[in-house]
Structure formats: structure tokens, C-alpha cells
Homo-oligomer: A and B are copies of this chain.
Amino acid sequence: MSDLHLSWVESANSAETPFPLNNLPYGVFSVGDGLPRCGVAIGEMILDATLLEGEGLIRMDGAPLFDAPSWNKLMSRPRADWDALRARLIDLLAQDGDPALKDNADLRARALVPMEGARLHMPFAVAEYTDFYAGRHHASNVGTMFRGPENALPPNWLHIPIGYNGRASSVVVSGTEIRRPWGQLKGPNDDAPRFAPSQRFDIELEMGAIVGTPSDGPITVDEADSHIFGYVLLNDWSARDIQAWEYQPLGPFQAKATATTISPWIVTAAALEPFRADTPAREVELLPHLRDCGPMLYDIDLSVTLAPEGGQAEEIARTNYAEMYYSAAQQLAHHTTCGCPMRTGDLLGSGTVSGPERGNRGSLLELSWGGKEPLELSGGGTRSFIEDGDTLGLHGAARGNGFTVGFGPCTGKVLPALPDPYARG
């Protein structure tokens, strides 16, 4: 495992910062009333990539990459360009690199913006969003609750990464407030459905893989791995009661379309390279086109915090991305088997990342066992599902030798449902 690489940006040189020179994640930021711009996190600062491109310090062949507030243009370029930009950024920010920025006080003052006080925006335009169900522990837990332990895993689960198409328009960046949804609900003992606010609103702790390289037909797992530009944390907000009524026979729909929150920084696959991890042992052998061909998960510690209205955030779950049964590369390969075209900006949710123990569960549904065993909060009170005013946060970090590759928090505060969305005019 590699060591901390030193930068002349001092705040990037601690073991605790999520944004050392080893990371260099990509985001979009604005300051005050300024327009959103592309930026790179380094320590406590943001390097203004749009400005640096304008000044000629980073330059790729062809059209400008950073004239729009999104990283899609870079993502759509060949992988060699991804590597070239990363190498150039490292050179400009390393203690012993190109002094063009380091030794130019005026440019430095303009190009480095304190992260505190900057506003973060969606780092890329989501083309389409797909959500998987690829965590063994999560699928077993949910299946046990709904179908009993004998039928916990559907028959196809060990053979293909089960997924469904989600709603790209609902993806929002960390910090966006989430309005509790209304929906059609019908409990098992109700005579008829009713339209009401969701009472079982929940989180799902996931990783999101971002497709850079488009494809127009079936691709291998190896190819899929090389098409992934980077990763974010992803909270797939889920209305369990809406889902229970709607999901047969065609899957979740409105239950999952209120919002999906992602963390604001794209951590590149390149930055995660030292943390590659194998998928778990296979219970049944996968068909050749989905078979593992190298470590394609990552050793990323994940946790969930909950802060009640006006209260302190406390950790309610802790797990690791390497718990997943299928890698994002396997999911992406499966996604293309029928010839489905994939595009730059496609976002693939991993599925809820739970671990083997109760404290490792990535949803309140699992943590409270469907509401039967409410979670005790250390600040007082209990939770079966989200209450109005709660702020939920996801956190992720890969830990190297004296350094951390972090994601920045992925948070959202849940607001009360609107009184009645149809009582208008």
C-alpha cells in the first residue's frame, strides 16, 4: 500500500484529511454569488480547475474541459486523458513538482479557494441511474424479513447482480434537504389503499460507480472495470411502505424516486487503486461472462450517522464496501449483456452495503428489523424509521499508510411532508 504523498498545500499533509495529494477528487463549487466551477479538493482547499485551464496550466488537446460546471467532458474522454490530467494535477500540487502554481503567489491566491464557505454542487450530470441489490447480508436480511429464512435469497440472486433502473432526475448532492414523500399505501390489514405521507421512510447506505467510457454492446468485466471513472457515496432514500404496495410485479418505482443523495466529490478509480479488494468466495460459480477476473471491490470503511433535530450526530452503523457480493464492474458488465448502451454519466448504485453483524446494517429497515427492534439512540429516544428533522449522513474512507482517501460527507435532512400536495388552487 502506498504512502502519503506530500503537497505544498500544508492542510493536505495530515493522516486525517480526507483529501491528501493521493486523493484529488473532482467536484463543482461556487463561492458567494459566483457561477459554479470545476474544482479539485486538496486538504482544506479547492483548486479551481476552470481557472487553471483558462490560465493554460492544465491543458488537454481539443475543446476546453472545464468551461461547464460538470466533469462529464473529462469523463467522456479516453482513459489516457483521465490519467494525464491526474498526473498534471499531482505535478502542480506536489511538494517537489512543477513550481508553476506553487511559486506564483498571485495565481495561487486566485486558484486555491477555502473549502469552508464554498458551496458544493452536483459534480456531474447523471445520464441514467441504476440501482443494484448486490449485498449478500442486505439481501438475506430483507429476504428473511419478507419471505422467511428459507426463501431469503431469490433463486437468481447468486447468478446475476439483480438491479432495476432508478430515476436520474431525482439524484441530488449532499446537503440537499429531503421532503418526506406522499404515496399510495396499503398495510396488510387495510381494506383499501390510502394516499398519505410515508411512515417508513429509510436510507440505504451504498456506493455509486460512475461510468466514464460509453459502450454500445456487451462488454466484459475487465472492460467494465476500465470504463468506471470514479465513485461516490450514495444514499438511496427509500419509502418502504410505498414500495411494499407498489413493487409487484414490476419492481420499486415511486418508493425510490423522491431523492437519491450523492457525496459531492468524485473519488477517481485511480485514487482508489491501492485499495482494491476481492469479492467474497462464490457460493455457486458464476457463468464465465460474469466471473471475477481480479480484485474489483475496494476496501472502503463506511458508516452512517443520525442527528435528530437540534441534536448531535451519532454513528448508527459501520461496514465496508468489500462486503459486497458483486463488484461495480460485474454490475456494469451484466448491464450490457442484452446490448443496452451505456453512457458517460451513468450512475450505478451498489445496493445496500450491510455486514454480518447488527451494527453493520446499512438501512434502518435492517437495523430495527422492520420496526420490531427499534434502535436506541445514545442521545435518547429510539428509531424504527426516519423521523422529521433527522439528518442522515453517510461517510466513507479508504485508509492507507498514514493517509486517508475520503469522500466527504453525504448528508440530507428530512423535512416534514407537505400538508397535502393536491390541496392547491
Binding site for B on A (CB under 8 A): 127-128, 133, 154-156, 159-160, 162-170, 179, 181-184, 186, 192-195, 217-218, 220, 239, 242, 245-255, 257-259, 287-289, 334-335, 337-343, 346, 418, 421-422, 424
- B250 near A251 with CB under 8 A, answer yes
Query: Which residues of B have CB within 8 Å of A183?
Result: 337-338
Question: What are 22 pairs between A and B in contact, CB < 8 Å?
Answer: A127-B169, A128-B168, A128-B169, A156-B246, A156-B248, A160-B184, A162-B250, A165-B253, A170-B339, A182-B218, A182-B339, A184-B337, A194-B287, A195-B289, A195-B337, A218-B422, A247-B249, A247-B250, A257-B338, A258-B339, A259-B339, A289-B422
- A164 near B165 with CB under 8 A, answer yes
Shortest distance in angstroms between A159's beta carbon and chain B's nearest beta carbon?
5
Q: How many copies does the complex hold?
A: 2
- B339 near A181 with CB under 8 A, answer yes
Q: A128-B128, A247-B250 are in contact. List 18 more A-B contacts (CB 8 A).
A: A133-B250, A154-B249, A159-B186, A159-B193, A162-B249, A164-B164, A164-B250, A165-B167, A169-B340, A179-B217, A181-B337, A181-B339, A194-B287, A247-B251, A250-B251, A255-B338, A258-B339, A337-B421
Query: Which residues of B have CB within 8 Å of A193?
Result: 156, 159-160, 287
Shortest distance in angstroms between A102's beta carbon and chain B's nearest beta carbon?
43
- B167 near A340 with CB under 8 A, answer yes
Query: Which residues of B have CB within 8 Å of A255?
Result: 338
Q: State the CA gap A49–B162 with chains docked (Å).
A: 45
